[in-house]
Amino acid sequence: MEMSFDEKLEFGKIAEKEIESYFMNKDYNIIRSYDYVGDDNKSPKMFSKKINFVLPDLDISKNGKRFWVECKHYTHTPLNRKYNIYVHGIKKRHYNHYLNVQNETGNLIYLFIKEIEHNCILYAQLDQLKTYDCQCGRCNNNCLIYFNREDFKEIKNDN
């Protein structure tokens, strides 16, 4: 059954909450971008006269250090047969927006992935990840850009 927007939002928040807890336990300060979404339920954005970029999920800070975290969750980790690696993907359009947000704010973007099948959290600095193009042949902004699972670090469960 296709999930409604609200159901998807709720499901998406499960991973987000878990990643939030990770930072909470380390006494980081958290601003949830989705708390600043209007009634129209659009993605939270930063904008100026010239730009309009989708924001990562969390704005994290502590002691004068600040960075962005985009939270994703995937039930499993697909094998990409062309590249012969296990991959995770995000929308190409969002990838480009996040790198622009990093350039404009001067704060790094990290991608955090909750893997349901392995019950673990992976993370990497977005601009350090090697990218693998979609192979559909008619690529557009709705296509995904892929990353090698091995390029991520894993958060060790220390509780």
Q: How far is the CB of 136 from Zn ion (least distance, A)?
A: 3
80 binds Zn ion (CB under 5 A): no
Binding mask 89-128 for Zn ion (x = CB under 5 A): ----------------------------------------
143 binds Zn ion (CB under 5 A): yes
Please, which residues have CB within 8 angstroms of residue 150's CB and are 6 or more apart in sequence? 85, 86
Q: How far is the CB of 115 from Zn ion (least distance, A)?
A: 23
Distance CA(1)–CA(12), nearest Å, equals: 16
142 binds Zn ion (CB under 5 A): no
136 binds Zn ion (CB under 5 A): yes
Q: Measured from the CB atom, is 54 or 144 closer to Zn ion?
A: 144
DSSP 44: P
Any idea which residue has 């129209």 for tokens? Answer: 40
SS3 93: helix
Q: How far is the CB of 81 from Zn ion (least distance, A)?
A: 15
Distance CA(52)–CA(43), nearest Å, equals: 11
Strands 79-80 and 85-91: antiparallel
Can you give the binding site for Zn ion, defined by CB under 5 A? 134, 136, 139, 143
